């Protein structure tokens, strides 16, 4: 119960936020309270699904009584706190921090197809007018062009060491496939013994890609479609692969499906996907996909035909099997790529037409 | 001698408290490095994800993944040893590698050879010997932690008892924890590791915090360059530290404790372990240490070469076997410390003061300081002085009296150009700012801080740009990489002190000030907040030298 005050507001106490008294639920961070009031505090290391980390320091706010600004993401709101989210001093520090970030990176602009959060750095660079060329010096991060996995680009020269990838892998996916090695400016995201993702505990769920704020980790399959002409359109739907019901945004240009991003507000998945939902969409527009009915001829080859002929051939085959071997000689496995209505039809067909319960779906595997 | 198997080592450590670091050290010493097989075995046994374990061991200087890593000698190239010819010595030792200051500035140059420390300025001179005792005290001044340190045999239990040791604790154990807390409060004892937090308040907070078991941690990770006082205390008066920890345990209701010892003090490790064994045999530690049925025990855990592990929350993560990033505060260790339970983290010197306070009383301790300042402070003095070493001075003592009268001044007819404060973290004091007293308020008024009390002296022949550059390089190498301002800022300041950066002095100073200001104001821990004091004080005291540096860099 968060409301102990009996005042019906749902809040436990108040703080003063930019001069205004606002309600707070016990346990909320200053960042969470400020976000509720649309203060648009900048951050690069924050992902609302993850434990606050306090790395980028962009979310600093002025706290009355504190000598230095405090990181709002890691500071819990306490009764009576007075905080300021914008001031000349805060803006100056945020700009210097963004100039520092810009100075260690190779690319400031990355293709939005790289991943869901890939524009966060570029947006803040512009907001703080930080493309100044100040603080020039060594750049950090070693990219891994040797990692030839087909899904995740590991372009660490664009890494800003916010560790969102490491944290999402541990806290959300529970894979613990990647970690932080070395320290300071030599810090590097790594797998065990600096190996390839394919040799690690990685399941290629892609969540690291989608939380990366710079495109250092990027969706190779979506980027392969970067040259497809047209505006990217996103269509919200539900992943068909299994029963979890992960919400996804299908990205398309014209009539071409170019990639998948998880829906951060998907009630079942909150931005999570598995390798199938994230990366296995080629079948939709694959050239080998059946576009018309075919039957095998006397010559042993498949030939195009009409639906009636094809269905008659199929029915004859089923009937012969049941007559010769009984109703349990039929086993139906519905495709995970089929829509839910088709899956339902399939089980009705197997149960009703053949009288067997041998019906399954590949998503169960 | 049979080599222990993986299974032997895992069986030995898995059920003991804080097992990761000792296990890694055992494998490292057995094999000469940390092999993939060893790490996989440890990962599986302690249930630490292998990627995490791999990342964590790369954080520490001294864990090597190269088969000859453990056997490679490490030569100090810290600020004082660099003056004494460390780079030449390093070049003369085949296969040796550089290491940051290992706390032997009173006897340069230390070389860490597996589990031995050798000292000497040339290869021929290198020899293992006991660490230097503090120089004789000034006759007019009363010492606290050093009062008995020069008494032969003080490091043994018998010797310690003969000079009054454990009497204060035994007396306190007959009373109530409250009474002990009152004495510590009244003494004005405050943290001697640098933060200066009142010890009594810290102990009381732990005593009142919810959650058990509580833990006492002695921060013996003396990693600040130019600081070597804790080494002297532990080498010559280990029971004082142990007695202080037991007293803290009694006052707070803790039943366990750790001494987190820096890797670079292998001799100290043996001394501490011997002392702990003696204390355990005498029943001072163990199941009835704090009274019948009231256990308290202590273990030493070694770091593996990481300056940031002297930061208390980073230390706690290291002790727990986690990646040693500092934690976000609040919550503080007094409520969420070791294993997220209430924990006292005190510096060696703080804990070593406690037995003396228990014997002589709070008023006595408070009266040792000058004016309003309570107690004493050990200053590790090194560099261009005639008699470097550890000096225990009354709080509020004039810096120049220490340097000129006690330590014999600057040798060779030279003059002081600058001193560092807080080891390196306090930056430089020079010119009129040298007229300062050794207490936090006065030093802070000069834009610096006393910290753990390391002071390095540089005479007028030294190149302050070079000193500042090597100092900033140290901070850059030791930055943990968690927060942006420190990770990037220490690197950029190092580059600018190296001669890179804008060729125009105005732009150079703008960049250095902006980097420094944002680092000081927004860094997550003391490392990034303090590092810019080097550049700020350099610009303040040596503007002409800075201008020449920028002009020459073009």
Do A211 and A114 share a structural domain? yes
* A65–chain B Cβ distance below 8 A for any pair: no
* Residue-level pLDDT at B93: 96
Rg of chain A in Å (alpha carbons): 27
pLDDT tens column, A113-156: 999 999 999 999 999 999 999 999 999 999 999 999 999 999 99
Nearest alpha carbon to residue B224 among B368, B349, B400: B349
* Residue-level pLDDT at A4: 47
pLDDT tens column, A162-200: 999 999 999 999 999 999 999 999 999 999 999 999 999
State which residues form the domain around A260.
Answer: 227-288
pLDDT band at A241, cuts 50/70/90? Answer: confident
* A50–chain B Cβ distance below 8 A for any pair: no
Which pair of structure tokens corresponds to residue B406?
Answer: 């006690």
Do A169 and A158 share a structural domain? yes
pLDDT band at B69, cuts 50/70/90? Answer: very high
Residue A132 is assigned to a structural domain of this protein = yes
pLDDT tens column, A198-214: 999 999 999 999 999 99
pLDDT band at A339, cuts 50/70/90? Answer: confident
pLDDT tens column, B385-438: 999 999 999 999 999 999 999 999 999 999 999 999 999 999 999 999 999 999
* Residue-level pLDDT at A364: 72
Residues A208/A215, Cβ–Cβ less than 8 Å: no
Query: How far, in Å, CA of B274 to CA of B479, rounded?
Result: 34
Of A33, A57, A86, the position where a domain reaches its end is: A86
* Residue-level pLDDT at B528: 98
Which pair of structure tokens corresponds to residue B288?
Answer: 């009835």
Sequence-ordered list of residues with C-beta below 8 angstroms from that of B33, at least 6 positions apart, any chain: B64, B65, B66, B67, B68, B69, B70
* Residue-level pLDDT at A338: 78
Do A326 and A284 share a structural domain? no
* Residue-level pLDDT at B45: 98
User: What are the structural domains, with CATH classification, of chain B?
Assistant: 6-57 (no CATH), 74-128 (no CATH), 157-365 (3.40.50.11540), 369-459 (3.10.20.600), 464-553 (1.20.1440.230)
Residues A64/A70, Cβ–Cβ less than 8 Å: no
Across all residues in chain A, what is the average pLDDT? Answer: 94
Q: Answer yes or no: is pLDDT of B49 > 70.
A: yes
| Shortest Cα–Cα distance, A167 to chain B (Å) | 11
What is the number of CB-based contacts under 8 A between chain A and chain B? 146
* A321–chain B Cβ distance below 8 A for any pair: no
Q: Answer yes or no: is pLDDT of B288 > 50.
A: yes
pLDDT band at A3, cuts 50/70/90? Answer: very low
Chain B residues near residue A185 by CB distance under 8 angstroms: 476, 479, 481, 487-488, 490-491
Do A301 and A270 share a structural domain? no
Do A231 and A219 share a structural domain? no
Residue A100 is assigned to a structural domain of this protein = no
Percentage above 70 pLDDT, chain A: 97
Do A218 and A110 share a structural domain? yes
Kindly determine whether residue A93 and residue B522, on different chains, have CB atoms separated by under 8 Å: yes
pLDDT band at B340, cuts 50/70/90? Answer: very high
pLDDT tens column, A87-113: 999 999 999 999 999 999 988 899 999
Kindly determine whether residue A179 and residue B54, on different chains, have CB atoms separated by under 8 Å: yes
* Residue-level pLDDT at A2: 44
Residue A352 is assigned to a structural domain of this protein = yes
Do A220 and A282 share a structural domain? no
Q: Look up the CATH number of the domain holding residue A116.
A: 3.30.70.20
Q: Look up the CATH number of the domain holding residue A279.
A: 2.20.25.90
Residue A98 is assigned to a structural domain of this protein = no
* A191–chain B Cβ distance below 8 A for any pair: yes
* Residue-level pLDDT at A335: 83
Across all residues in chain B, what is the average pLDDT? Answer: 97
Do A322 and A280 share a structural domain? no
Task: Give chain A's domain count.
Answer: 4
Do A200 and A147 share a structural domain? yes
Task: Provide the phi-psi class of A206: left if phi over 0, else alpha when psi is between -120 and 50, else beta.
Answer: left
Q: Answer yes or no: is pLDDT of A5 > 50.
A: no
Of the partner residues A57, A161, A186, the one whose CB lies closest to the CB of residue B522: A57
Do A82 and A165 share a structural domain? no
Of A180, A206, A224, the position where a domain reaches its end is: A224
Q: Answer yes or no: is pLDDT of B294 > 80.
A: yes
Do A260 and A152 share a structural domain? no
Is beta strand B74-76 parallel, antiparallel or unpaired with respect to B97-99? parallel
Percentage above 70 pLDDT, chain B: 100
Of the partner residues A57, A184, A201, the one whose CB lies closest to the CB of residue B51: A201
Q: What is the 3-state secondary structure (H, E, C) of B36-79?
A: HHHHHHHHHHHCCCHHHHHHHHCCCCCCCCCCCCCCCCEEECCH
Do A235 and A150 share a structural domain? no
* Residue-level pLDDT at A9: 78
pTM exceeds 0.90: yes
* Residue-level pLDDT at A8: 67
Residue A274 is assigned to a structural domain of this protein = yes
pLDDT tens column, B264-279: 999 999 999 999 999 9
Of A208, A224, A240, the position where a domain reaches its end is: A224
Residue A27 is assigned to a structural domain of this protein = yes
pLDDT tens column, A34-58: 999 999 999 999 999 999 999 999 9
Work out the widest C-alpha separation in chain A, in whole angstroms: 89
The mean per-residue pLDDT over the stretch B29-34 comes to: 97
Q: Following CA atoms B85, B91, B93, B99 in sequence, which dihedral angle do they give, to the nearest 10 degrees? A: 70
The mean per-residue pLDDT over the stretch B368-396 comes to: 97
pLDDT band at A6, cuts 50/70/90? Answer: very low
Residue A6 is assigned to a structural domain of this protein = no
Q: Answer yes or no: is pLDDT of B1 > 70.
A: no
* Residue-level pLDDT at A1: 39
* Angle of CA points B412, B418, B420, to nearest 5°: 120
Residue A93 is assigned to a structural domain of this protein = no
């Amino acid at each position: 119960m968060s409301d102990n005050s009996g005042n019906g507001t749902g809040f436990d106490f108040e703080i003063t936020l930019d001069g205004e008294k606002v309600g707070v639920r016990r346990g909320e961070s200053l960042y969470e309270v400020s976000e509720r009031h649309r203060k648009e505090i900048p951050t690069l290391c924050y992902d609302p699904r993850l434990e606050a980390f306090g790395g980028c320091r962009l979310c600093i706010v002025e706290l009355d009584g504190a000598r230095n600004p405090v990181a709002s993401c890691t500071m819990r709101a306490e009764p009576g706190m007075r905080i300021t989210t914008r001031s000349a001093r805060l803006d100056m520090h945020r700009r210097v921090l963004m100039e520092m970030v810009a100075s260690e990176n190779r690319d400031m602009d990355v293709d939005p197809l790289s991943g869901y959060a890939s524009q966060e750095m570029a947006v803040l660079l512009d907001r703080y007018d930080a493309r100044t060329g100040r603080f020039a010096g060594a750049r950090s991060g070693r990219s891994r062009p040797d990692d030839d996995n087909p899904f995740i680009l590991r372009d660490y020269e664009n890494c800003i060491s916010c560790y969102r990838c490491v944290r999402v892998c541990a806290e959300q996916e529970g894979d613990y496939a990647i970690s932080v090695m070395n320290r300071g400016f030599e810090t590097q995201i790594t797998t065990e013994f600096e190996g390839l993702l394919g040799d690690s505990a990685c399941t290629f769920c892609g969540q690291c890609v989608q939380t990366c704020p710079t495109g250092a980790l990027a969706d190779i399959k979506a980027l392969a479609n970067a040259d497809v002409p047209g505006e990217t359109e996103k269509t919200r739907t539900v992943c068909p692969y299994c029963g979890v019901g992960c919400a996804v945004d299908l990205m398309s240009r014209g009539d071409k499906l170019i990639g998948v991003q998880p829906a951060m507000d998907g009630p079942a998945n909150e931005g999570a996907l598995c390798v199938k939902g994230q990366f296995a969409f080629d079948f939709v527009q694959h050239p080998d996909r059946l576009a018309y009915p075919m039957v095998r001829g006397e010559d042993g080859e498949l030939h195009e035909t009409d639906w009636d002929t094809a269905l008659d051939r199929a029915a004859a085959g089923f009937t012969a099997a049941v007559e010769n071997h009984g109703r349990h000689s039929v086993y139906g496995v519905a495709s995970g790529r089929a829509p839910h209505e088709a899956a339902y039809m399939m089980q009705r067909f197997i149960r009703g037409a053949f009288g067997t319960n041998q019906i399954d779906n590949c998503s169960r595997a | 001698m049979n080599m222990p198997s993986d299974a032997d080592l895992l069986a030995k450590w898995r059920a003991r408290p804080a097992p990761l670091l000792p296990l890694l050290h055992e494998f490292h010493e057995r094999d000469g490095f940390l092999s993939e097989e060893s790490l996989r075995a440890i990962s599986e046994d302690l249930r630490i994800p292998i990627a995490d374990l791999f990342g964590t061991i790369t954080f520490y200087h001294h864990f090597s993944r190269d088969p000859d890593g453990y056997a490679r000698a490490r030569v100090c190239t810290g600020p004082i040893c660099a003056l004494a010819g460390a780079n030449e010595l390093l070049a003369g030792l085949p296969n040796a590698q550089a290491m940051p200051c290992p706390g032997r500035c009173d006897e340069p140059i230390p070389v860490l050879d597996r589990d031995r420390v050798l000292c000497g300025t040339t290869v021929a001179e290198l020899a293992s010997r006991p660490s230097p005792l503090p120089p004789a005290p000034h006759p007019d001044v009363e010492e606290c932690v050093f009062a008995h340190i020069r008494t032969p045999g003080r490091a043994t239990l018998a010797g310690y008892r003969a000079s009054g040791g454990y009497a204060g604790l035994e007396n306190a154990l007959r009373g109530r924890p409250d009474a002990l807390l009152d004495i510590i409060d009244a003494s004005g004892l405050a943290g001697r590791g640098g933060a200066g937090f009142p010890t009594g308040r810290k102990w009381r907070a732990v005593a009142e915090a919810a959650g058990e078991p509580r833990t006492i941690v002695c921060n013996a990770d003396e990693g600040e360059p130019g600081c070597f006082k804790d080494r002297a205390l532990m080498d010559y008066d280990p029971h004082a530290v142990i007695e202080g920890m037991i007293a803290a345990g009694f006052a707070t209701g803790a039943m366990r404790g750790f001494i987190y010892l820096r890797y670079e003090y292998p001799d100290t490790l043996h001394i501490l372990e011997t002392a702990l064994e003696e204390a355990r045999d005498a029943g001072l530690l163990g199941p009835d240490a704090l009274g019948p049925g009231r256990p308290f025990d202590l273990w030493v855990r070694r770091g593996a070469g990481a300056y940031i592990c002297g930061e208390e929350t980073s230390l706690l993560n290291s002790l727990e076997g986690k990646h040693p990033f500092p934690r976000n505060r609040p919550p503080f260790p007094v409520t969420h410390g070791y294993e997220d339970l209430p924990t006292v983290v005190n510096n060696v010197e703080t804990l070593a003061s406690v037995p003396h306070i228990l014997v002589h009383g709070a008023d006595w301790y408070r009266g040792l300081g000058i004016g309003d300042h309570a107690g004493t402070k050990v200053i590790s003095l090194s560099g261009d002085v005639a008699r470097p070493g550890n000096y225990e001075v009354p709080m509020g003592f004039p810096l120049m009296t220490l340097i000129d009268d006690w330590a014999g001044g600057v040798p060779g007819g030279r003059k002081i150009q600058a001193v560092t404060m807080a080891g390196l973290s306090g930056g430089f004091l020079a010119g009129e700012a040298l007229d300062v007293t050794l207490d936090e308020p006065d030093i802070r008024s000069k834009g610096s801080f006393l910290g753990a009390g390391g002071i390095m002296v540089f005479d007028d022949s030294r190149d302050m740009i070079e000193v500042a550059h090597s100092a900033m390089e140290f901070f850059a190498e030791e930055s943990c990489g968690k927060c942006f301002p420190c990770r990037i800022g220490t690197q950029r300041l190092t580059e600018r002190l190296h001669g890179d950066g804008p060729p125009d002095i105005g732009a150079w100073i703008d960049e250095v000030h902006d980097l420094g200001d944002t680092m000081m104001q927004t860094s997550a821990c003391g490392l990034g907040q303090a590092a810019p004091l080097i550049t700020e004080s350099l610009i303040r005291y040596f503007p002409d030298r800075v201008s020449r540096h920028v002009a020459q860099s073009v």
